[in-house]
Amino acid sequence: MEQRARRHAAAPSPHLPPHPAQRRREALSQPSEPQLVIGIDLGTTNSLAAIMDGGKPRVLQRADADPLVPSVVGFLDDGEHVVGRPARQQAVLNPTRTVHSVKRLMGQAWSEVSQSASLLPYAVVDDGSGLAKVEIDGKLLTPQEISALVLGEVRRVAEEALGQPVEKAVITVPAYFDDSQRQATRDAARIAGLQALRIVNEPTAAALAYGLDTSREGTVVVYDLGGGTFDVSVLKITQNVFKVVATAGDTHLGGDDFDHLIMDAILALVNAQTGSDLRAQPQALQQIRLSAESLKQQLSESQQAVLEIDLGGDAPLHFELTRDTFEQWIEPLVQRTLDCCAAALADAQVEPADVRDVVLVGGSTRVPMVRRAVAETFATEPHCELDPDRVVALGAAIQADVLAGGNRDLLLLDVIPLALGIETMGGAFAKLVSRNSTVPARATEMFSTSVDNQTAIEINVYQGERELVRDCRLLGAFKLADLPAMPAGLPRVELTFLVDADGVLSVEAREQRSGKQAAIDVVPGHGLSRDQVKSIIRESISHAHEDFNTRELLDQRNKAASLVAGARRVLAMKELTMAEPQRAELAAQIDALEATAAGQDLGVLKSATEAFGDRTQELADAAVNAAIAAELNRSAGRLPS
């Protein structure tokens, strides 16, 4: 018989005292043996590696070459591929086989990227199981495989620069990457032949790179607007400890979205003047994408930018864009980043005036409007001394040095973005690890069975902020089976959640009486969509009152069910002498409580449950005494005379 787990904190049956809930968090150890470990920023637009050299981080590059490796993979006619700058150079002539911005597809379902995929010149398709994959010449490739090609090129650059093999790395991801997207990043590293010793949040790495005054306590905000993602993190710095206390962001908001606004305007102009829809022409679409990116970059330096579009006619099309117009277009996107900042500050219980330093990260922070907006929000000029394209890799190198046993005086404490827990009776969500918990983390709690003679417990693992699992996201499921048949509430199931330093989850379950155990490394099929990831906390707040009432009704129903089960066991006890009128009265009370529990009135059910518990307490005590007396009599009968 298989049922959901029941939290031991729920009310007991009349004859069984509750097991207290148990929670604990423990720091997990870090490797410290000396080893070669590089830091890698796996970016949407560009990627690069760095390493500690003489106590300072430096980027790794080939001789006389730009250290930035464009996160672009091009597939050739002979089946071979090129990565980085050669791939970007062939993009216009070979758009359908040139893959860029694949980071936005990592850990995603097809339904979550289908709309944005229409602006990509290469094919993104549903693989038949709901996952998004890239189709090249009829072959389906996962985003992890393509990211692995980028990581492989970054690895080769590092090996050429260092003159020795590289096998271990610290890799950065957006702070708001969920469990699935972090797993996808680890998989990409594994495919590339790299052992990812740690997955570090990009904003946290940036704070390390700036070498902020760690001897002076204070609050630091890292604003990270890259090509495809946005993150904001709030950190507390005390005595060489960098502790992330809150994070927020959007995994589908970045400079690419700025480019798309310019692309839409160019495409609309072409359509209006020629009647042509260039969206159906991959080569032209790729050229316009690159032109839009160039216009954006020009507007960071000038008040106006001009584009001449040669469509093969008598004269090229003239497209002119001013900085003022561009800023009007991007204002809603910039405001979305500021809304995330406000959410992170609220979670950290910090006012903008309390922030000591603001750090800008990501190439898109070069846009003048972005810098102005951040400065106005925090009433201070943000740090932008370091190259925003390199700062994350430099920070990753510092963390790599810590893991390699170099710097033992620095401690980095990151957090998870959303709560983790399991489904309990009635579809309630029992949170074991709360949002913004410091990782690595460990949480343990006791659960039990909900019906008599239950021999298996199905454990469904969820991620979210709501009170009911129907409003959260299923990450994985496993079964604790072959349990000995016992009365409901008697098994003691210890459930342990382990979140490692990368934010990746594993779950263990052990029934203490029988020793049966089961475990799962949670590897979900895909990640959270843009809207899900952004609204999940907001919804938890707006539905808090409704969720609380629903959850309390579920808890009271579970309590009533536990009392009813215990009372029925009392009625079935042969050892307990009970007059027939008393039995009939108890049976009627049981029926009445079950009927009340089926209703929706929380107040009535609560009163009925408490009254039933009070009325049956004396009977429960008598049942326990009768059972003890019967056992003593049986034991006495077995003694020699």
Cβ atoms of 521 and 515 closer than 8 Å:
no
**Residue 315: phi, psi to the nearest 5?**
-140, 145
DSSP 617-636: HHHHHHHHHHHHHHHHHHHH
Rounded to an integer, what distance in angstroms lies between the CA atom of residue 510 and that of residue 578? 39
Q: What is the DSSP letter of 245?
A: E
Residue 459 φ/ψ, nearest 5 degrees: -115, 110
Bridge partners, residue 506, by sequence: 498, 521
470's CB contacts (< 8 A; 6+ apart) are: 427
With b meaning 16 or more CB within 10 Å and e meaning fewer, what string describes 202-231? bbbbbbbbbebebeeeebbbbbbbbbbbbb
203 closest CA partner among 182, 224, 176: 224
Catalytic residue among 153, 187, 202, 547: 202
Q: Which residues pair with 53 in a beta bridge?
A: 56
DSSP one-letter string for 42-75: E-SSEEEEEEEETTEEEE---TTS-S-EESEEEE
Whether 224 sits among the annotated catalytic residues: the reply is yes
Q: Is 103 a catalytic residue?
A: yes
Among residues 41, 187, 357, 547, which one is catalytic?
A: 41
Q: Which of these is catalytic: 178, 187, 224, 445?
A: 224
DSSP state of 445: E
227: closest CA among 68, 436, 50? 68
Told to judge if 41 belongs to the known catalytic residues of this protein, a careful annotator would answer: yes
> Which residues have a catalytic role annotated?
41, 103, 202, 224
